[in-house]
Amino acid sequence: MYKYEGLLVHQTLDEHGVIEVIDTKGERALHFGSHSRQSSMIIADPNQLNSFYARAMMGLLLFNDSPKDILMIGLGGGTITKYLLHQFGDCKIKVIEFRSSVLKVARSHFQLPLDPRLKVKIGCGGEYVANQSKQVEEQYDLMVIDAYDHQGMALEVSSEQFFDNCRTLLKEDGLLAINLWGTNKELFRDVTWNMGRIFNWRILFLPVRRRGNIIGFAFRENAPKYSMKELKLKANQLEQQYQLNFPQFVQDFKRNNTTVLDKVFKK
Contact of 130 with 161, CB cutoff 8 Å: yes
Q: Which residues of the chain are under the pLDDT cut of 50? A: none
- In this prediction, residue 183 carries a pLDDT of 74
Contact of 165 with 140, CB cutoff 8 Å: no
CATH label of the domain that carries residue 231: 3.40.50.150
The CA-atom distances, in angstroms, between 118 and each of 105, 185, 254, 255 are 16, 35, 34, 36
- In this prediction, residue 184 carries a pLDDT of 78
pLDDT tens, position by position, 83-115: 999 999 999 999 999 999 999 999 999 999 999
- In this prediction, residue 158 carries a pLDDT of 85
In a domain, 62, yes or no: yes
pTM: 0.94
In a domain, 25, yes or no: no
Boundaries of domain holding 175: 47-264
In a domain, 40, yes or no: no
In a domain, 2, yes or no: no
Contact of 129 with 168, CB cutoff 8 Å: no
In a domain, 149, yes or no: yes
Helices within 170-221 (DSSP H only): 185-198
| Number of domain units in the chain | 1
Contact of 39 with 77, CB cutoff 8 Å: yes
- In this prediction, residue 151 carries a pLDDT of 60
pLDDT tens, position by position, 131-156: 999 999 999 999 999 987 556 667 77
In a domain, 191, yes or no: yes
In a domain, 26, yes or no: no
In a domain, 181, yes or no: yes
